[in-house]
Structure 1
Amino acid sequence: MSIVSISEAARLVNKSRKTIYKHIQQGKLSTVTTVDGLKGLDTSELIRVYGILSIQQETPVTTVTSKQTYTKSNTPKETPVTINNQTFIELEKELAASKLKIEQQEKELNYKQQIIDVKDIALSSKQETIDTLKSALKLLEHKQAKDDLGNIDAIPSKEPESSLNEVEATGNEKGLLGRLKKLFS
């Protein structure tokens, strides 16, 4: 919590001291008494009533923490930055090195993208070749099936009668039928 004097509060809110005293008497502003017994205004109270504070020059601000009082000064928000030539040159070199690094990374990225594109083209080409070979294989299978249907006469027919006659002539039957005949004879 920052406490400022009434004169300082008037400067911070761009009002006269008379107006600040009038607002205190009307109850719009409340005062704070410091550990030293001095009367002042809390900056948060000023912000509540008047809005944003204007800090035009270095302003001493008193901070009260428990029973100790600290005084520090606020500096304007815009402070000039001074850079000597050597620092400036070093910063320019760093910037140039960063730009080169970015360009190199962009080239690597483009190269990798080209490799990916080439691989995609090769993959699609291989897939087209596979599809063409599958079509050709289906045509060959179809043609072979047609040829096989035309050569049905070439399949020999078996005569079951001859095998039965041979079994009867020898009297030796194998398997279940033979065993059954032996069992019942």
Structure 2
Amino acid sequence: MAWHTITEAQKLTGKSRRTLYRDMATGRLSWEPEGDSARRLETSELIRVYGELKPLAQPEEKKQAHADTVNGTPDTALILAELKALREEMAELRQAMRLLEYKPDLPPPDTPGTAEIVPNEKPIPWWRRSLFRQ
């Protein structure tokens, strides 16, 4: 017969992990080591101790996207039109942001009426400052 892991045995018997390990420790349920720390149980042993097993394999349902947004539905055209309008609006907003952020360049220093810009001197670090200010 087939061999099962503890997790599979839990699903087949409906018993808890603790119950399975307790029955293995008392000798009620026989098992074989699998690798260094795993155990495996035979199907016939599970049937002998716990009776009829639950069906393990259940049919998997076909996974499908939301039924309302499948390609070809009438709402698809509406969604695509709204998406296009939103993209156009975003482009307009980006253009408006660029205009708002526009800063004209400073006039060249040789033009009359403009003051010469002097870079600020770096402040003196606290450890170089005089203790007694004058």
The bucket for the TM-score relative to the shorter chain is 0.3 to 0.5
Report the TM-score when normalising by structure 1. 0.29
Name the structure with the higher helix share: 1
Q: Which has the higher contact order (CA 8 A, sep 6+)?
A: 2
Report the TM-score when normalising by structure 2. 0.38
Name the structure with the higher strand share: 1
